Amino acid sequence: MSATRRYLQVALQILEGIGSGATPLGSKLPADRELAGMMGVSRLTVREAVLALEVVGVLQVRTGDGTYVTHDGAHSSQLGGLLSHKEFPVPTAEVLEARSVVEPAAVALVAQRATPEQLDELEDLLEHAEDLTHRVEDLGEFVSVGLQFHASLVRLCGNAHLAAFLNALVDLEEHPLWTLLNAHAMQNLDARRSQVAEHRQILTEIRAGNASRASALMAEHLGHLAVAVEALSDLTNNSN
């Protein structure tokens, strides 16, 4: 079993415990070391699984206290069905490649066509992301806001077909691992700060009408994300 499938299987086992009532709403999970021993996996794999469930709102990690169940079995069963899929529609590397080719061009169009009022919506998302930067307990929301920034940005390109294509690439239902991979990449405070700063630089150039510069910054931004995802892949592939 691949490392990615391994942590998803651990997440599924935790979900089954929640759904069966063995680990009820509000209860505290055993420590990582204990869970790793019970399931025959590494502590890193357990942490991967816990983060996956934290991002989607099933678990909450309380610093210095432990990990608690924050959603009931009904929610867990639905998510379990998602995690138990044997294949996901498009590998994340291919999604990143497609975005890296198309999204910078869309951003150039936004710089040429978007109104100041439309760009104010992006400013609101950036301000919200800045508020969330230092709150690691809200990592899932931070990731969601970041993806909303991209989705909202491409909708302003003035080309409905292009916008629909790009929105499909960041659709969380279509690509369920997208949120998880972003969340792993954004665990570090500096990474979250960098993401917000890069989004702000892109928006600044768009407001100024600098299409080529905005496009170049988006290409650079997506390149940074690709490096982070590749680093995560290397880590998980060598963890067990």
The CATH homologous superfamily for domain 92-237 is: GntR ligand-binding domain-like (1.20.120.530)
DSSP H/E element including 69: strand 66-69
> What global pTM score does this model have?
0.66
Among 47, 17, 34, residue whose Cα is nearest residue 240: 47
Contact yes or no for 223/216 (Cβ under 8 A): no
| Lowest mean pLDDT segment, chosen from 38-42, 157-161, 193-197, 225-229 | 225-229
Overall average pLDDT of the 174-198 stretch: 77
pLDDT in tens, 112-148: 999 999 999 999 999 999 999 998 777 778 888 998 9
pLDDT in tens, 11-43: 888 888 887 888 888 999 999 899 999 999 988
Residue ranges covered by each domain of the chain: 3-83, 92-237
Distance separating alpha carbons of residues 213 and 167, to the nearest angstrom: 22
- The answer as to CATH 1.20.1250.20 being correct for domain 3-83 is no
- Say whether pLDDT at 215 is over 50: yes
- Say whether pLDDT at 169 is over 60: yes
Overall average pLDDT of the 59-74 stretch: 79
- Which of 156-165, 183-192, 202-211 is most confident? 202-211
Query: Does 77 or 6 have the greater pLDDT score?
Result: 6
